[in-house]
Structure 1
Amino acid sequence: MLETYRGLRERPWAGYGLSLAAFAAALVLRLDISAGLPPGFPYLTFFPAVILTTFVAGLWPGILCAVLSGLAAWYFFIPPFNSFAMNGPTVLALGFYVFIVTIDIALIHLMSLATERLNAERRLTSKLYDQQRTMFQELQHRVANNMAFIAAILQLQKRSAPKSDDAGSALDAAIVRIDTMSRIHRRLYDPETSSRSLQAAFEALAADLVEISGVPGVQVDVDMPQESIDLPRLITLSQLLAELVMNSLKHAFVGRPGGRIWISLRRRGDDQFELTVRDDGRGLGHAKTKPGAGLGDRIVKNLGAQLGGQVEVTDAAGVTTRLIFPA
């Protein structure tokens, strides 16, 4: 509320105008109700005027209102009336008034100072946060650009390397992984997409992977719950899904026009997630290496271990990979 009246406090003429208006209103009201009041109560309407003025307009307008109110109460409402005569009861009444308004004004002023300091600290914190966020975004942007640069270097290296199927395949796989990591990095650290659901985030990731692979006609169905996962584990989960989907895109649909991949994440009780990635491809029978021995398989197992789970692979009507990990 004090922040609302900042503009009034920053314009002294407005504050003093409010002080005079509050004093005048309090005096008129006190004169109007005098006939119905018992003897005493000289400050009945002046205390609220002083408190309101100090709260809204600040210290010095509050002091002005207090001085004018004290003089008016002394002249009109403390015997002998309509004079500034001084006697024992008058001194006592004025001393009581001075004590009360001093306490009121001091408390309100100290509260205002504390609020101003708090608001200044909030503004400074907000500014520092914006600066830190900008620097962090720039850092992530540079990291993603560096990944893209490394992928481009590997692409050039592949062109100049001696012709070898194994070397070419290894370089292709490295290029795809780095490109995938770059895209994951950009998406997860992009503030415009930070509020996206898991469903939307992994649908976008799947679309990127299909585009990178160049395999036509593949449909990826994503089924994710309305859950939130902390960023470090979300990055690991994204890497794991990218590796599994790329494995399917690379091996499952050879010799056929497209196929289908299903990705789902489900809760198992209150403390576990179950991740399933399944394709309708040709299975593991055509693999050149023993199941679980390839680089991609080792990467998947390591990523699963980082999530605190163990990867299980079954080969029936396509390949199904399942990971149960703590929620």
Structure 2
Amino acid sequence: MNPVLFRRPLYGYGLAVCAWLTAFGVRMALADWFPPGFPYLTFFPAVVVIAYFCGLGPAILTAVLSGLSAWWFWIGAPGFDWSAATGLALAFYVFVVAVDIFFIVGMNAATDGLKREVARNAALAESRDLLLKEVQHRVSNNIQVVSSLLRLEAGMTRDETARRVLSEAAARTALIAKVQRSLLDADGAAAPFDDLARRLVADALEATGRTDVTIEVERACHALTAEEATPVALILLECVNNALEHAFPGRPGRIEIRLYEADGERRLEVRDDGCGPPPAFDPGQSRSLGLRIVLGLTEQLRGRFSLVDGAPGALCRLTYPRPADH
């Protein structure tokens, strides 16, 4: 990483002169110790360092000053010797420093280009995330508006059946809006199942006014992807509402919820200790709108749903293929 300070021309060329003076002083101090044939030994490192930290111009200045110094003092006779051997030594020096400067400056330029590309990609990713959050925010708001309109229509109708149907539709659309907000909080990628399930069942208990029912959500390390979050949340809430409505007539109860993975599948289980389903109960033959919604969402997940005797109570199990990792 090049210090920005050294990229300024004044500092860069000043450092080049200092590096050359240092290399010259070291070479002069060790002149008696070096055998003949090593006139550039201390100058090559100076050129490499300046090329890396200061760029092309200062590196060329360091190379020229170093070459002239070595030529005058340590190549051939004192002064600028013009013999063929001196010319060969100078040609070797020019070739080596040119290769060093070319690769080092080129490497720095490539690194700077990569940094700019990374910064540009990071800015694009941030812009994309902000746009996604804004879209999700607008979607959840629009769904909430639909829920409010349905609730308003339910309050104005005189038909009890229509009022109940509209109220249930309003509750379900409000749930979808809540799921969308949970995805928004998780950057649109995945919603932690534990947190989402606890919020949903808390709302369900509050809506029914049941204070004698305990709902426990087993801790899990899984997260729901954007594709599965809405259908799984709706199925979970339908199962919980079904238990609250039918499993505990006039007595306390307990509902257990767990999501786990087995054999490449995800399994959602909602178990209660209530009175259990009727004998030989088949969800597919039920006329309940809630169960029909559950079965439709199960097909959307390409899964299987069952409601069986949990001995005691009822056990609702949703099984569907594990989504691909994102």
Length-normalised TM-score, structure 2: 0.88
Amino acid at match of 1:53: I
Q: For each residue in 1:28-72, what CA deviation from the matched residue of structure 2 results, as whole angstroms up to 9, or x when unmatched?
A: 222222222211111111111111111111111111111111111
The SS at the match of 2:40 is: coil
CA RMSD of aligned residues (A): 2.5
Q: Distance in 2 between matches of 1:212 and 1:130?
A: 39
Retained in 2: the 8 A contact 1:284–1:291?
Answer: no
Q: Distance in 2 between matches of 1:45 and 1:217?
A: 86
Q: For each residue in 1:260-301, what CA deviation from the matched residue of structure 2 results, as whole angstroms up to 9, or x when unmatched?
A: 2111123324x223321112334445x9x9963211111212
Report the counterpart of residue 130 of structure 1 in structure 2: 126
Question: Structure 2 residue aligned with 1:265, among 245, 254, 259?
Answer: 259
Question: Structure 2 residue aligned with 1:141, among 137, 142, 147?
Answer: 137
Length-normalised TM-score, structure 1: 0.88
Q: Distance in 2 between matches of 1:211 and 1:18?
A: 73
Q: Distance in 2 between matches of 1:275 and 1:119?
A: 45
**Greater CA deviation, 46-55 or 220-229?**
220-229
Report the counterpart of residue 100 of structure 1 in structure 2: 96
Unaligned runs of 5+ in 1: none
C-alpha displacement of 1:133: 0.8
Retained in 2: the 8 A contact 1:50–1:65?
Answer: yes
Question: Structure 2 residue aligned with 1:309, among 290, 303, 307?
Answer: 303
Q: Distance in 1 between matches of 2:207 and 2:116?
A: 49
Report the counterpart of residue 39 of structure 2 in structure 1: 42
Distance 1:132 1:192, change over 3 A: closer
Report the counterpart of residue 221 of structure 2 in structure 1: 226
Retained in 1: the 8 A contact 2:191–2:223?
Answer: no
Q: Distance in 1 between matches of 2:203 and 2:31?
A: 82
| Runs of 4+ deviating beyond 4 Å | 192-197
C-alpha displacement of 1:174: 0.7
**Greater CA deviation, 276-285 or 260-269?**
276-285
Q: Distance in 2 between matches of 1:209 and 1:79?
A: 96
Distance 1:201 1:159, change over 3 A: closer
C-alpha displacement of 1:193: 9.4
Distance 1:48 1:153, change over 3 A: same
Q: Distance in 1 between matches of 2:199 and 2:27?
A: 71
* 2:256 equivalent to 1:245: no
Report the counterpart of residue 29 of structure 1 in structure 2: 26
Question: Structure 1 residue aligned with 2:59, among 62, 65, 84?
Answer: 62
C-alpha displacement of 1:183: 0.8
Distance 1:139 1:281, change over 3 A: same
Q: Distance in 1 between matches of 2:11 and 2:207?
A: 66
C-alpha displacement of 1:197: 4.2
Identity of aligned residues (%): 37
